[in-house]
Structures are given as structure tokens and as C-alpha cells.
């Protein structure tokens, strides 16, 4: 029994095992809105991508895609989170997504290697030309109805599971067009006038108009209160209040492309006039289209295409408004001076998705390096049998699968909050900085180890892991840098007793693990002992985090509390992901015991949980000691000493 769990690797490797595709596709789906979504997504015929080529022997391992682990996705959804959706219905949706990524996934390296180009026409105008396969991929995405998942009633948690599959297959981010358009459309639907929604919303939902988020300027990134783009009232038009805008925008993705004839920017600007408050309180939200309702071009111009490290399928532009005499036409969305407030209403969902994309790339790196390690021989045996390679694979698995569990848990909290559960909303608000930042940092670390498993092969374009690292690097930067989120977590979110519910919830999970350990059959001693060990370790880690939080949020520590805020973010993050791994282990213990070691999936979950608690969670101890000392070495370093 002890050797079954071991904690030694099971000789039966079924981490990626699943039923054949035909067994997973339901012949019929139950009635209801979710079933309608499933039918819509399953039934639409696909167009095979021209660039997709067979990838014999490398693309799959024991019958499962290299892009993600369907069994793991369904385990987290149904056995851990118990989402309020029928398993068969969810499977129908995920089957459709998996079909799509299997057909189109092989195109992604070409999109990375041939990024968009800035084209200058004979008349001197400029535009962005994207890869032809990007346009075909996006057309097929919309033809299959994937853009309608939200409208057809799929829970956000299930949508995130689908996004996880998309993210692993398309690291160069061609689907960024759809994500940004959905976010822009959600903003318009929530805050726009009926006339604006009538003009743009249905076309945005259908993929006929791409939406963007135009926030940053050359001098203003995180400090949006410093933006200089101005809007002057120009009276009422057929679509509501019209303004003439002038300024410069930077880091705008999915802009000035040839995917669709028109693009609608959701843009932040400052209304000119004495009534506009200074700083962030004076920012308003506008819709600025490329083409005006009469079909004439707006006064907007791309001035540069940023050459990026990753996400190369998605153009990222510097552009200007109002270079002509009159200024660019824009339409006020919502109330004046409420632009940031409107943006922040959708930030939780965006931050969950950033963490999810990071987790997807971490998992893809694990799959790629696992495939390589099973086929590569050195020293007379496959390198997967070498201890250090196992360590690197375990680290990837611990980071990527822990991050995935965290993001799906956050998505279920989002669902519950939308249904009126205020406690779920408060819990999500307390961990959202971790949900965005921890996967972004540590799944990048996972990609580092994926490269290392492949050695020199991991460093070249012939294998995909170097691209995964480049693409994942952005996630620590966009939607708020790690430093910004660290300051928010410590400086605001977990102050004044607001951390108590989070710590209480983690302790409740430890108690539940103890109860499950006691309830396991008598012949499950190894599983019971492991659950008790993990529960005890989590209690110790929670106590550490609680003590550090109490000290850093005290009045005495206030002047220096934020000096090491990033370390605090990692302390809380490692503890929260430990919580996730305890929940995963608690769900896996009983089926692992019932299978008596014959199911490598559950054995792998328990073994990875043990690895995380024995190798990763102890890293919080020296971090806690540094934080409790209120060390100010960083602050005391003078700029002229570097």
C-alpha cells in the first residue's frame, strides 16, 4: 500500500489517458441553455487549415493532445470545484474546442515566425497586415460559435476551461483579437447608450468589428491618471454625445489590422474643461471607431508597430488621434469622469484569464518536455528516468496544475458572485492579485524548466518550448505588473482584518482533508497519512502568512511595509497554491486508494501534492523571516550606487 503511493512514481503512466474521442462525444445533449451552447459548438463543420500538417509521433502521447490534459480539466471542474453544469454538456463543449485546436494548433509556429507587418500605401497611409492564416483561424472560430459561449449561458468557469485549451494551442495569441473584442463589447453593453450598442454591439459579438482597449500612452503606463489624450465636446450626434479627441496611444493590441474593415477602440481620455477633476478621477471612456457610421475614415493613424518578444500573431501599435484639423470623433461611453470605474468592473475576469493563459503555457511546456523526455535516451536510458529530469518535470507539474486549479477556483467564485453570493465576491477580491500574478511568475519558471529538459534542443526554434517562454513573459506585465499587484494586495486588499476570511477558508480545507483522511477505508493508510501531513503543513504555512500580515499591516510597520511587497505576494501566493494542492489531493485520495495504484492520474496528483508541500511550500519560511524583520535594504540602496 505504501509503495503504491510511495511516494514513488507509479509504473503505470496514465496521466494523459482518456477514453477515445468517440466515447466522449454524447449522441444527444440534454435540453437547456448550456445544452444549446454545446449543440451550437459541436455541430458546426470546420474548415481544415491549409498550414496544418501531420505531426506523427510527436503531437500526442497515449492518445491525448500535446496542448492540454482533458482529464485534468474535467477533474478540476467536476471532482474538485463541482461546477454547476452537467459533465456531459461540458464535455461536448470541450470536445468541440479540442477538435478546433487539433486542427489549427499546428499553424501557430508560422504565426510566431511571420508576425504582422506595417504596410505603407501609395497615398502614404499605413495599415497592419496580419498572417493570412490568422484571418482564416478567426473566421472558423466565429463560424463554430465559440464567441457565443458567454451569451449562451456557459458558466465562466467552463468558459475558462475552454480558454485553457485555446491558450495552450495558440501561444502566439491570434485569439487575442476575440478576447479583446469580447472585453470591449462587454464594456459597451454595460455602459453604452442604446444608440451606440445598436450601431456596434452585434457586429462586435459576431466578429465583424474588432474591439480594443486603448489605455496606455507613451508616458503613462500603470499611472493612467497621467494620460494626456483630450476630448472636446462637439454636440449630440445620431449615436449620442460626440467628442473630438487628440492625443497619442501606446501598446494597443489588435489595432489597425486587416482582419475586419472596422475597429472600435474603447479608449480612455480626459474631457477638456474646468469641471474635469485631476488625475484618475477625471478620466472618461470613449468609443473611437476607425470608420465612422457613414463609412468615412476617422482621424486616427498608426505610427508604429511594436516588435515584440512574444504574442507575435497579435499586432501591437502606437497610434495617434486628431492629426487633422478637427480631431478624431469619439462617443462617450457611460458617465463623464467614470472611465476607470467602468474599466475596473471587468478587471477581475481579465485578471483571471491572464493567470489562466500563464497556466496554459506552463502546462503546454510540461507536455512538450514530457514527450521529449520519454523519447530521448542518454546514459543508456530515457532521460525521464534521470532524477534531475524528474525534478524539472515535477516542478512544472506543481506550478502549472496548481495555477490551473487556482484560476478555475477563482472562476467559480466569479460565477457565484454573479449569482448573488457576496461572500464569494469578497473572497475573489482578496485573492485576485494572486490569481493574476502567481501563475504569471511561476508558470514562466515552469517554461524555464521545460527548456532545460530539452537542453540545447529547447533553445532553438525547431522545438516549441522557447516560444512558450517568450509568449508567457508578457503575463507578468500586462493587466497590472507584479509590483503593482503586490502593493495592492498588501497595501489595500489584506489590511484591516480583510485577510481573515481567506485564512479561515484555508484552515477549513485543512480540516476537511483531516476528515477525509479519517473517512478513507482502513486499507488506505498511505493516502490518509499523506492528507494529514499536507493538512498540518498548510496550517503551519497559514499561521506564518497570518503573522506576517499582522506585522506588515500594523501602524508601526506602515512606513516600510511595502518595501518588500513582492516577497509578500509570493509568500501569500505559495500558501494559496498550497491550499489548491491540498484540495486536489483531497479529491484524488479516495479514487487513488480505490484503484490500488493502477490509476497513474490520481497517483500523480498525490505525488505532486507531496512534492509541492515538501519542496515548494517550505520556501515561505525564509521569506517570512525576512518580511518579519522589516528589512529595508532595498529602499536604502541609492540610485547612484547601481
Q: Is the peptide bond before 7 cis (omega within 30 degrees of 0)?
A: yes
Q: What is the mean pLDDT of residues 189-198?
A: 96
Residue 169 is assigned to a structural domain of this protein: no
Each residue's pLDDT tens digit, 480-513: 999 999 999 999 999 989 999 999 999 999 999 9
Residues 559 and 619 grouped into a single domain:
yes
Q: Count the Cβ atoms, other than its own, within 10 Å of residue 121.
A: 8
Residues 486 and 454 grouped into a single domain:
no
- The domain spanning residue 446 has which CATH number? 1.20.140.10
Decide: residue 330, CB within 10 A, 0-12 exposed, 13-18 middle, 19+ buried: buried
Q: Count the Cβ atoms, other than its own, within 10 Å of residue 251.
A: 18
Distance in angstroms (rounded) separating the CA atoms of residues 269 and 271: 7
Distance in angstroms (rounded) separating the CA atoms of residues 30 and 88: 9
For residue 253, pLDDT beyond 60: yes
Residue 2 is assigned to a structural domain of this protein: no
Distance in angstroms (rounded) separating the CA atoms of residues 399 and 420: 32
For residue 228, pLDDT beyond 90: yes
Confidence of residue 17 (pLDDT cuts 50, 70, 90): very low
Residues 160 and 300 grouped into a single domain:
no
Total number of domains in the chain: 3
- Predicted local confidence at residue 242, as pLDDT: 95
Distance in angstroms (rounded) separating the CA atoms of residues 301 and 245: 13
- Predicted local confidence at residue 64, as pLDDT: 54
Residues 205 and 340 grouped into a single domain:
yes
Catalytic residues: 479
Confidence of residue 233 (pLDDT cuts 50, 70, 90): very high
In 3-state terms, the chain is what percent helix, strand and coil (to 5)?
Answer: 60, 15, 30
Residues 314 and 182 grouped into a single domain:
yes
Cell triple for residue 107?
Answer: 499553424
Residues 454 and 488 grouped into a single domain:
no
Counting DSSP H helices and E strands in the chain, the numbers are 22, 14
SS3 316: strand
Average pLDDT, the chain: 90
Residue 640 is assigned to a structural domain of this protein: no
Residues 517 and 383 grouped into a single domain:
no
The residues facing 117 across adjacent strands are 129
Each residue's pLDDT tens digit, 49-84: 544 433 433 344 444 578 888 999 999 999 999 998
Whether the CB-CB separation of 130 and 112 falls below 8 Å is answered with no
Residues 524 and 586 grouped into a single domain:
yes
Q: Count the Cβ atoms, other than its own, within 10 Å of residue 515.
A: 12
Each residue's pLDDT tens digit, 284-317: 999 999 999 999 999 999 999 999 999 999 999 9
Distance in angstroms (rounded) separating the CA atoms of residues 229 and 248: 7
Tell me the pairing of strands 381-382 and 377-378: antiparallel
Residues 190 and 336 grouped into a single domain:
yes
Residues 260 and 373 grouped into a single domain:
no
Residue 637 is assigned to a structural domain of this protein: no
Domain that holds residue 229: 176-344
Tell me the pairing of strands 60-61 and 328-333: unpaired
Q: Count the Cβ atoms, other than its own, within 10 Å of residue 31.
A: 9
For residue 561, pLDDT beyond 70: yes
CA distances 607 to 2, 6, 42, Å, are 12, 8, 36
Distance in angstroms (rounded) separating the CA atoms of residues 557 and 551: 7
Whether the CB-CB separation of 267 and 330 falls below 8 Å is answered with yes
Q: What angle do CA 261, 101, 208 make, to 5 degrees?
A: 15
Domain end call among 275, 310, 344:
344
Q: What is the mean pLDDT of residues 25-31?
A: 28
Residue 24 is assigned to a structural domain of this protein: no
For residue 24, pLDDT beyond 70: no
* 173 closest CA partner among 306, 311, 298: 311
Domain end call among 319, 344, 369:
344
Residue 19 is assigned to a structural domain of this protein: no
Whether the CB-CB separation of 254 and 124 falls below 8 Å is answered with no
Percent of the chain predicted with pLDDT > 90: 82
Residue 118 is assigned to a structural domain of this protein: yes
- The domain spanning residue 262 has which CATH number? 2.40.110.20
Cell triple for residue 279?
Answer: 488625475
> What phi and psi values does residue 124 have, to the nearest 5 degrees?
90, -5
State the DSSP code for 515: H
Residues 113 and 187 grouped into a single domain:
no
Domain end call among 329, 344, 359:
344
CA dihedral (106, 109, 110, 116) positive or negative: positive
Cell triple for residue 523?
Answer: 486499507
Residues 186 and 332 grouped into a single domain:
yes
Residue 441 is assigned to a structural domain of this protein: yes
Amino acid at each position: 500500500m505504501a509503495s503504491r503511493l510511495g511516494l514513488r512514481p507509479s509504473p503505470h503512466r496514465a496521466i494523459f489517458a482518456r477514453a477515445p474521442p468517440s466515447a466522449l462525444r454524447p449522441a444527444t445533449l440534454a435540453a437547456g441553455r448550456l445544452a444549446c451552447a454545446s449543440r451550437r459548438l459541436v455541430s458546426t463543420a470546420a474548415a481544415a487549415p491549409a498550414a496544418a500538417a501531420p505531426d506523427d509521433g510527436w503531437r500526442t502521447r497515449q492518445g491525448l493532445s500535446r496542448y492540454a490534459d482533458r482529464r485534468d480539466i474535467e477533474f478540476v471542474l467536476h471532482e474538485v470545484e463541482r461546477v454547476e453544469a452537467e459533465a456531459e454538456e461540458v464535455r461536448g463543449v470541450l470536445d468541440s474546442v479540442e477538435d478546433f485546436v487539433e486542427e489549427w494548433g499546428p499553424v501557430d509556429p508560422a504565426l510566431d515566425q511571420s508576425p504582422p507587418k506595417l504596410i505603407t500605401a501609395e497615398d502614404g497611409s499605413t495599415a497592419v497586415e496580419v498572417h493570412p492564416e490568422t484571418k482564416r483561424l478567426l473566421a472558423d472560430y466565429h463560424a463554430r460559435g465559440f464567441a457565443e459561449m458567454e451569451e449562451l449561458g456557459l458558466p465562466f468557469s467552463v468558459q475558462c476551461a475552454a480558454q485553457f485549451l485555446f491558450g495552450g494551442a495558440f501561444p502566439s495569441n491570434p485569439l487575442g483579437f476575440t478576447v479583446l473584442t469580447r472585453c470591449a463589447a462587454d464594456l459597451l453593453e454595460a455602459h453604452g447608450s442604446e444608440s451606440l450598442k445598436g450601431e456596434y454591439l452585434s457586429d462586435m459579438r459576431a466578429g465583424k468589428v474588432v474591439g480594443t482597449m486603448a489605455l496606455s500612452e507613451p508616458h503613462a503606463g500603470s499611472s493612467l491618471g497621467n494620460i494626456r489624450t483630450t476630448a472636446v465636446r462637439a454636440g449630440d450626434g445620431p449615436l449620442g454625445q460626440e467628442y473630438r479627441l487628440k492625443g497619442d496611444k501606446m501598446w494597443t493590441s489588435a489595432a489597425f489590422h486587416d482582419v475586419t474593415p472596422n475597429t472600435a477602440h474603447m479608449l480612455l481620455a480626459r474631457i477638456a474643461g474646468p469641471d474635469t477633476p485631476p488625475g484618475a478621477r477625471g478620466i472618461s471612456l470613449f468609443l473611437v471607431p476607425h470608420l465612422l457610421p457613414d463609412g468615412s475614415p476617422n482621424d486616427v493613424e498608426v505610427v508604429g508597430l511594436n516588435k515584440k518578444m512574444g504574442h507575435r500573431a497579435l499586432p501591437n501599435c502606437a497610434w495617434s488621434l486628431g492629426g487633422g484639423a478637427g480631431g478624431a470623433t469619439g462617443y462617450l461611453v457611460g458617465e463623464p469622469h467614470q472611465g476607470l470605474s467602468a474599466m475596473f468592473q471587468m478587471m477581475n475576469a481579465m485578471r483571471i484569464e491572464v493567470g489562466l493563459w500563464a497556466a496554459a503555457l506552463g502546462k503546454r511546456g510540461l507536455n512538450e518536455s514530457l514527450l521529449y523526455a520519454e523519447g530521448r535516451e542518454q546514459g543508456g536510458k530515457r532521460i525521464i528516468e534521470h532524477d534531475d529530469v524528474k525534478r524539472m518535470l515535477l516542478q512544472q507539474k506543481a506550478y502549472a496544475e496548481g495555477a490551473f486549479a487556482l484560476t478555475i477556483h477563482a472562476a467559480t467564485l466569479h460565477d457565484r458572485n454573479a449569482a448573488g453570493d457576496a461572500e464569494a465576491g469578497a473572497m475573489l477580491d482578496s485573492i485576485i492579485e494572486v490569481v493574476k500574478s502567481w501563475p504569471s511568475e511561476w508558470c514562466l519558471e515552469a517554461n524555464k524548466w521545460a527548456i532545460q529538459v530539452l537542453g540545447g534542443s529547447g533553445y532553438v526554434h525547431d522545438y516549441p518550448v522557447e516560444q512558450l517562454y517568450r509568449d508567457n513573459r508578457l503575463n507578468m506585465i500586462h493587466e497590472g505588473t507584479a509590483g503593482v499587484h503586490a502593493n495592492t494586495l498588501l497595501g489595500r486588499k489584506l489590511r484591516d482584518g480583510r485577510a481573515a476570511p481567506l485564512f479561515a477558508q484555508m484552515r477549513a480545507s485543512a480540516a476537511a482533508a483531516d476528515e477525509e483522511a479519517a473517512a478513507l477505508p482502513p486499507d488506505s493508510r498511505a493516502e490518509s497519512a499523506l492528507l494529514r501531513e499536507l493538512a498540518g503543513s498548510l496550517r503551519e504555512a497559514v499561521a506564518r502568512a497570518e503573522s506576517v500580515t499582522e506585522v506588515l499591516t500594523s501602524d508601526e510597520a506602515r512606513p516600510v511595509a511595502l518595501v518588500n511587497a513582492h516577497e509578500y505576494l509570493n509568500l501569500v501566493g505559495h500558501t494559496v497554491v498550497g491550499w489548491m494542492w491540498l484540495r486536489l489531493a483531497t479529491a484524488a485520495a479516495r479514487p487513488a486508494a480505490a484503484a490500488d495504484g493502477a490509476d497513474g492520474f490520481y497517483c500523480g496528483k498525490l505525488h505532486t501534492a507531496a512534492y509541492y508541500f515538501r519542496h515548494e511550500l517550505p520556501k515561505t519560511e525564509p521569506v517570512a523571516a525576512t518580511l518579519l524583520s522589516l528589512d529595508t535594504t532595498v529602499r536604502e540602496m541609492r540610485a547612484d550606487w547601481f
